[in-house]
Amino acid sequence: MRKKKCGSQCKDIDTDLGREVERNIGTTDPCEKAQSGVVGELKFFDFSDFDVLEFSCFRNSNKSSVFKIVNDPNQKQTKHNKTKIKIKNKRKITSKKDKELLLSVALGQVLSLLICGIGLTSKYLSEDFHANTPVFQSFLNYILLFLVYTTTLAVRQGEENLLAILKRRWWKYMILGIIDIEANYLVVKAYQYTTLTSVQLLDCFVIPVVILLSWFFLLVRYKAVHFIGIVVCILGMGCMAGADVLVGRQQGAGENKLIGDLLVLGGATLYGISNVCEEYIVRNLSRVEFLGMIGLFGSFFSGIQLAIMEHKELLKVPWDWQIGLLYVGFSACMFGLYSFMPVVIKKTSATAVNLSLLTADLYSLFCGLFLFHYK
């Protein structure tokens, strides 16, 4: 491995680390930043082949700066003063884990915006254009997944080929596909009965479902505070459903709003099951396999459901460019949600993803207030 000198009073360092140091503090000689008795420390996580790399510039008894790499963060340093002082003009070092965390948070907000877009287009279709086609809307998404991911599996070679996967676990993906179809159907159907904000708020029931299923099937352990949060979440949803019924009665639509709320809760439960299965698959198998098999079975069974349940409703749709644009927008948001969700779940967990999606409620609230004039 090539080495590079970092200074007359510094030990050799790996050139890759040297470049990383230079990128962050402007020099390959970190001790240059530690003159006049300044003491500092920078850490790199998951860098190169080490779990932890650390370089420190200390002032020893002779008041000279010393550079060293510590592979073991618990290694004792006997010669040097351990007092740490912030290096002057040092740029902030962001570790790889911090970057991944920020990326996960950013992707979580992208998912929230996509969910808000799904709700917005569904509400416009059902309320303004009376296009009540939840199965057809989901069918379009499954067709896109099939065209992109199922065909990718089909052209693969070896054990990751579509036929090889079907031989090993076709029935598992068939069940998962049906669960996912009905989850989408129930939630999209709910927009016909209740408000956009109610659907988005009650949809958070997926969080306690995911936590409980992760506890039993993924062996994830949570603290008591998490279960207190579940209880608070359930109480909040009960209050939301009660408020919907009371407001609906005043407007003569209490029964419809209750039906909508129950549809959302049923869909959220199925979403929770689907999310936990998704987390297991993307962590142990692959994202493309999950999406490809969902696209295959989703398009097949939703096509059958469409032919049985919605062929008459589809003929009643007053087709024009606005309705076409809403269907395209819905499909694009759904496809984006399905494509990015496994990425974020793999980096974090199904529970963390659903918690980050709570901001979708805020976006939906603003849409409800300003676009649909909810009070």
- Binned at pLDDT 50, 70 and 90, residue 221 comes out as confident
- Binned at pLDDT 50, 70 and 90, residue 225 comes out as confident
pTM (two decimals): 0.68
Sheet holding 52-59, edge to edge: 40-45, 52-59, 65-69
CB 220 within 8 A of CB 364: no
If phi > 0 it is left, if psi is from -120 to 50 it is alpha, else beta; for residue 13 that is beta
Q: Is the pLDDT of residue 134 over 50?
A: yes
More confident residue, 18 or 355: 355
Domain ranges of the chain: 3-69, 96-123+130-370
**Helices 224-250 and 206-217: crossing angle, nearest 10°?**
150
More confident residue, 148 or 124: 148
**Weakest-pLDDT range from 188-202, 269-283, 289-303, 334-348:** 188-202
Percent share of the chain, pLDDT over 90? 30
pLDDT at residue 147 in the model = 96
pLDDT at residue 17 in the model = 47
pLDDT at residue 149 in the model = 96
pLDDT at residue 247 in the model = 63
**Weakest-pLDDT range from 99-108, 242-251, 290-299, 351-360:** 242-251
